[in-house]
Every structure is written in C-alpha cells, then in structure tokens.
C-alpha cells in the first residue's frame, strides 16, 4: 500500500463518527419495500452527496417516487485504466407494526458497538461505507485515472430490478462490486425465479355435477382444478427430490435448489366445481444454471406428469414465469452469478481485504440473492462484498457491527483506489 493511500485509509479511524452518522442518516430515510414508492428523498440525498464529490448525476424514475441514481466520476485517463461500478440498493425490508423493536426502526441508535435500525445490515451499511470511502478519496484530491460509477438503485427487496434498468441504460465497467450483505465474504450467488402454474377447465359446472365426473357411469368428462393441481404439486416435489440427488454446487448444502409452492388460489365459491387453480412457486437454482433453463426443465417435467392423467392430458397446465415486481405483477427474477477467483478484480478485492483485515478472505456463495446477477448477465464481471450478515438482514432489531463497517470502508477505499489505478493492460500504477 502506497504512503498516500495509507494516509487516506487512516482517516477512516480518525473520522469514524462521521461514518456512523452517515449510516444513521441513510437509515433515517423510511424506504421499506413493500410498500415502496418512498425512496425519492433518500435518493435525492445520495445524488447530492455524489454531486458534491464531483460526480455527474443521472437520476430517473423507475416507478413514481422510486428513482434510480447513478453517479459517474470520469477518470483522468479513462481510455487506459480500469473502470469500476459500485452498486447497492436503497430500499430496505418491510417493517410490520407488530414487530417487537427495542427502538424505532428508522431512528437508529448506537448500542454495544453496533448500529441498530432497519437497513443497517441490509444494506445501508454497504452504501454508507462505500460512499464514505469515496468521500475520503475525493477530499484527498485524488483524481482517479479510471472511471468510477456509483449506482444507488431501488426495488431489490421486491424484485424490482433497478439494477437491470441501469444495465439497459448502458452503464458498463471492467468490474462491479455489489455492496450487499455478505459478512465481508467475496461471493457469487444462485438464482431465483417465481412462476405461476395454472390448471384451467374448458367448462364450468355446478357443484351438484361432482358425482357425474368422479364416479363410474357419470358420463361427464370433467374435473376439479384444485384436485388436479394436487397432482402438479406432487410432480414438483418429485422433481425437487430428483434435483437434490442429481445436482450440486460447491458451497451449497445438498438440496439447496428448491421448488416452493408458495401461494395457491382457485375456485369461485362453494356452489361451483373449481374450474381454475393457480399456483405461485419460488424456484432456487445454482450459480451455473440460468432461469430460462430451470423454467424449461420444470415445464417439460410437468407436461410429462400431465400425460399420465386422462384429464390433464386434455387440459395441460400453463406457465407464466418471472416478472418485474412482486408488487406490480407478482413475480420476480434474480439471475445467478458465478465468481471467477482468478479474475483480476476478485484477486485485487481479496488482496485489499487481506491488507486491511489481516485475514484471508472467504470466497464463496451467498445463501440468498442480490442484484449482482443482473450485472453478470449484462457481461460485467461482478462480485458481492459488503458488511452485515444474513442473521440480521430483515430481522427485528437489525444491527451492524461498527468495527466491521470500519474494516469494510477501509477495504473499499483501498480497492477503489487500486483498481482505478490499474492500467487496462493489467499493469499496476499503485505498486
């Protein structure tokens, strides 16, 4: 680490209270999703923060009241040096009025070495640390040779891919760090896709006709869609067990690729034979799989299940996969993300962690999902690296260790400086 960089890193300890205050400020903005549509004030704060550091600001509504913010700090020699995206979401998990919080979730407090408040671990701690690291770099009048792009996005908690909108808007870089909850592990992730499976009868019958369709001699080719959905669910359970035996991925416990029947809807009322039934499923899959492949596999399996049933053969299930919002259209997609340990960005992030924390970093896979998959799918090499742990994410009395936040801020400061001082041919100006 150069003497100049070392002096800047020392500022994190000296100005720790400013870092804590920044995190508390971010937490104080009420941005739970659901209900969502509440991030404008918080995003305006982030935009102004970046603007004051010399970033060019791009702010646009993804949904009314929920804007994305992208700040771009052009490097002094962009053509010849590496570029970086730092990405995080401003929305936080919902808070139920019946939850037993010790404090107001949006009036954060410092207690026993932690900051307590909604979003401390997931993931306003990551945003605060990254923003403060950039602030210290800029205050040291450090002009980075490579481009630095900061993305504060909306909607991650409810599958509203603000990050996907950034990708569609054309933002790219040589590497990206998603500063979401990882307990300072460098991570990839599996993926998640939701889907609706519908079983629908071509005809509707009075409930008095049930005897005619289920007993010998009834002479009515009909069925109850809810009961036929039971066969579909049995087929999904069979496929889930098959996946647990035949598929695996390092870092995941066996059977982590699951198919969860989450919500079932069906029927009109008690005087009708149910002529339609809809099943909402959530599918977790491994980092080396795509949501398109997984959806196709489920469809093909259930079509075979339908072929084994006289009525389903003529009335096969239909499918609707994914969605852009759990609020707007009751669906979501989180693409998977594989991390390449040999990628120069991953190696430098690991070295930065080692220099600051004096321990070897853990490179593994997240047991949940983040927006990192969208960046990876856009062709941007990406890793997840942030403070906080999943035990605290979404939890009552959510909190974040101040010591970990300080270490994380130092790592990000070191990494941003060194990555943006790395020539495009891989030479390191900062050595």
Look-up: residue for tokens 């998959």? 373
Whether residue 182 sits in one domain with residue 71:
yes
What's the maximum distance between 2 C-alpha atoms anywhere in the chain?
Answer: 90
Residues of the chain with pLDDT under 70: 1, 430-431
Would you call 156 a catalytic residue per the annotation? yes
34: preceding bond cis by omega (within 30 degrees): yes
Query: So what's the pLDDT on residue 3?
Result: 84
Query: So what's the pLDDT on residue 431?
Result: 61
Tell me whether residue 326 is in a domain.
Answer: no
Whether residue 313 sits in one domain with residue 350:
no
Active-site entry in 66, 147, 156, 174? 156
The angle that helices 225-246 and 291-307 make with each other, rounded to 10 degrees, is 130
Whether residue 84 sits in one domain with residue 168:
yes
Tell me whether residue 424 is in a domain.
Answer: no
Active-site entry in 66, 91, 122, 407? 91
123: preceding bond cis by omega (within 30 degrees): yes
Tell me whether residue 90 is in a domain.
Answer: yes
Whether residue 283 sits in one domain with residue 367:
no
What is the full DSSP assignment across 29-63? S--BTTT----HHHHHHHHHHHHHTTPEEEEEEEE
- Structural domains of the chain, count: 2
Domain containing residue 90: CATH number = 3.40.630.10
Whether residue 102 sits in one domain with residue 76:
yes
Tell me whether residue 328 is in a domain.
Answer: no
Tell me whether residue 331 is in a domain.
Answer: no
β-pairing verdict for 333-334 and 191-200: antiparallel
Expressed as residue numbers, the domain containing 127 is: 3-189+337-419
Q: What is the DSSP letter of 209?
A: G
Do the Cβ atoms of 160 and 327 come closer than 8 Å? yes
Whether residue 146 sits in one domain with residue 44:
yes
Whether residue 378 sits in one domain with residue 304:
no
The angle that helices 16-28 and 3-14 make with each other, rounded to 10 degrees, is 60
Tell me whether residue 429 is in a domain.
Answer: no
| Joined tokens for residue 413 | 């400061």
Whether residue 195 sits in one domain with residue 185:
no
Give which of 7, 1, 4, 62 is closest to 37, Cα–Cα.
62
Torsion angle, alpha carbons of 305, 307, 312, 316, to 10:
80
* Helix, strand, coil in percent for the chain, rounding step 5: 35, 25, 40
The residue out of 274, 294, 321 marking a domain boundary is: 321
Would you call 96 a catalytic residue per the annotation? no
Distances in whole angstroms, Cα of residue 151 to Cα of each of 56, 276, 380: 12, 43, 14
Domain containing residue 303: CATH number = 3.30.70.360
Whether residue 36 sits in one domain with residue 177:
yes
Give which of 165, 173, 295, 307 is closest to 231, Cα–Cα.
307
Question: Alpha-carbon distance 408 to 129, whole Å?
Answer: 7
The residue out of 287, 321, 355 marking a domain boundary is: 321
Whether residue 143 sits in one domain with residue 205:
no
Give pTM, 2 decimals.
0.95
Whether residue 181 sits in one domain with residue 104:
yes
Tell me whether residue 428 is in a domain.
Answer: no
Distances in whole angstroms, Cα of residue 162 to Cα of each of 130, 332, 335, 363, 394: 19, 12, 14, 26, 20
Q: Quote the distance between the C-alpha of residue 387 and its chain's center.
A: 15
The residue out of 321, 345, 377 marking a domain boundary is: 321
Condensed to tens digits (0 to 9), the pLDDT of residues 134-170 reads 999 999 987 999 999 999 999 999 999 899 999 999 9
Q: What is the DSSP letter of 184?
A: T
Tell me whether residue 330 is in a domain.
Answer: no
Whether residue 195 sits in one domain with residue 176:
no
């Amino acid at each position: 680490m150069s003497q100049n960089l070392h002096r800047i890193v020392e500022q994190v300890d000296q100005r720790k209270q400013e870092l804590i205050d920044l995190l508390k400020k971010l937490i104080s903005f009420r941005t739970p999703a659901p209900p969502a549509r509440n991030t404008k004030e918080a995003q305006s704060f982030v935009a102004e923060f970046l603007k004051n550091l010399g970033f060019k600001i791009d702010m646009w509504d993804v949904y009314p009241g929920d804007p994305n913010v992208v700040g771009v700090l052009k490097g002094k020699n962009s053509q010849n040096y590496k570029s970086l995206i730092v990405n995080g979401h401003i929305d936080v998990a919902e808070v139920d009025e019946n939850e037993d919080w010790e404090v107001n979730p949006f009036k954060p407090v410092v207690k026993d070495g932690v900051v307590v408040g909604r979003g401390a671990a997931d993931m306003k701690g990551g945003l605060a640390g990254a923003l403060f690291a950039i602030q210290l770099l800029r205050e040291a009048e450090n002009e980075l040779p490579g481009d630095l792009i900061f993305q504060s996005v909306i909607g991650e908690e409810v599958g509203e891919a603000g990050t996907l909108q950034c990708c569609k808007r054309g933002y790219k870089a040589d590497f990206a760090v998603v500063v979401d909850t990882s307990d300072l592990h460098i991570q990839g992730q599996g993926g998640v896709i939701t889907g609706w499976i519908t079983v629908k009868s071509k005809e509707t019958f009075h409930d008095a006709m049930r005897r005619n369709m289920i007993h010998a001699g009834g002479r009515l080719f009909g069925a109850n869609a809810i009961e036929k959905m039971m066969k579909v669910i049995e087929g999904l359970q069979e496929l889930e067990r098959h996946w647990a035996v035949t598929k695996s991925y390092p870092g995941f416990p066996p059977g982590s690729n699951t198919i969860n029947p989450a919500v079932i809807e069906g029927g009109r009322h008690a005087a009708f034979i149910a002529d339609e039934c809809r099943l909402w499923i959530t599918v977790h899959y491994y980092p080396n799989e795509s949501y398109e492949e997984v959806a196709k596999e489920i469809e093909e399996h259930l079509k075979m299940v339908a072929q084994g049933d006289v009525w389903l053969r003529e009335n096969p299930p239909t499918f609707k996969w994914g969605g852009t919002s759990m609020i707007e259209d009751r669906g979501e997609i989180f693409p998977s993300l594989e991390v390449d340990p040999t990628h120069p960005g991953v190696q430098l992030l690991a070295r930065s962690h080692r220099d600051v924390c004096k321990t070897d970093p853990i490179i593994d896979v997240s047991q949940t999902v983040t927006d990192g998959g969208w960046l990876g799918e856009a062709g941007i090499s990406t890793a997840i690296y942030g403070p906080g742990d999943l035990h605290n994410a979404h939890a009552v009395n959510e909190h974040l260790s101040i010591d970990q936040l300080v270490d994380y801020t130092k790592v990000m400061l070191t990494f941003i400086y060194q990555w943006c001082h790395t020539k495009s041919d891989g030479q390191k100006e900062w050595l």
